[in-house]
Copies of this chain bind each other. A is one copy, B any other.
């Protein structure tokens, strides 16, 4: 008998309320029930995205949302600035290149956030840049960017849009789409939205729609204009993932009940306890600055293979976390605390890390990391 726990930075845990909602009988996507459902989730998504812009709902991975956010706004030969500070920044570059976009890549050492000044400089060098692509939270390194500061740089430019991969940021920490003037915000269902994988969401500003008008690129499925026109009338262009949208309604209901500021505060509190617990256990987090509240990337101690830590969390402890990617493979392991998470998820994760490291011969003091987290997470009277 073994209970399984999911602490990967996506897919994340899904609340039983959402799973139950998703087990409801299928409704038809051209029937009146769907119209009502879709109207509700569209309104609630605008609340979550802090925007009055359209938020498109796509049956897709997050990467599909990213692809559409390149294809719909840029033409082959257009210039774009891409921040590469990890696996997913690298992906922005790959997608841009697939669509013939000329990429000015700002390579940031993995573990660091991008200095917004570098973006300002790149824009000065190429004032005809059509778009800037960043991650709000780089999942591969556990580092968050200062989206607000970057938006302040891009917003004044009338012909340049800011496209933000907020896949492990939206619903974790504050992303003020309208207030900061973020043109395109992409997220996925399987992170802080507490759903299984299968939906992508993209918000699109007026400035971005204007750019889309002149853009010429190859796409059929990710046709944002067509989607937006349909979705404003509660109709998706193609068959929507109906059960996922039923679950989405319930997840958004739960998120609204908690409230945005409480959601951000919860993630901040849990992430802080995780980081402090890791430090108390004598370990180091990987980010050199600005750690994301979505997940904690932890350095494997000297002489211990990070992949072995990841593998041992999984078996025999039945905890699915994540290892490192590319050149970080073996160097780090990652534990998520985003979405449907609370105090005891952090306690369990720290406890498992302590046991695994002890098993692997690292002299970790048992209970010390957990004790630190308890100190920070308990709720004194």
Contacts and interface: CB of A to CB of B under 8 A. Distances in A.
A359 B1 CA distance: 34
A81 B347 CA distance: 47
A266 B1 contact: yes
A257 B1 CA distance: 8
Nearest to A372: B367
Given A358-B374, A371-B371, 12 more contacts: A1-B254, A2-B342, A3-B340, A3-B345, A317-B343, A351-B351, A354-B374, A355-B378, A359-B378, A359-B381, A367-B372, A368-B371
A123 interface: no
Interface string A189-233: 000000000000000000000000000000000000000000000
B370 A371 contact: yes
Contact of A358 (B347, B351, B354, B378): B378
Contacts of A343: 317
Interface in A242-286: 254, 257-258, 262-263, 266
A3 B367 CA distance: 23
Interface residues of A, number: 43
Interface SS of chain A: helix
A374 B380 contact: no
Interface in A14-48: 23
Contacts of A360: 381
A157 interface: no
Contacts of A378: 355, 358-359, 366
A127 interface: no
Interface string A339-357: 0101111011001101100
A180 interface: no
A358 to B, nearest CB: 6
Contact of A374 (B262, B351, B379, B381): B351
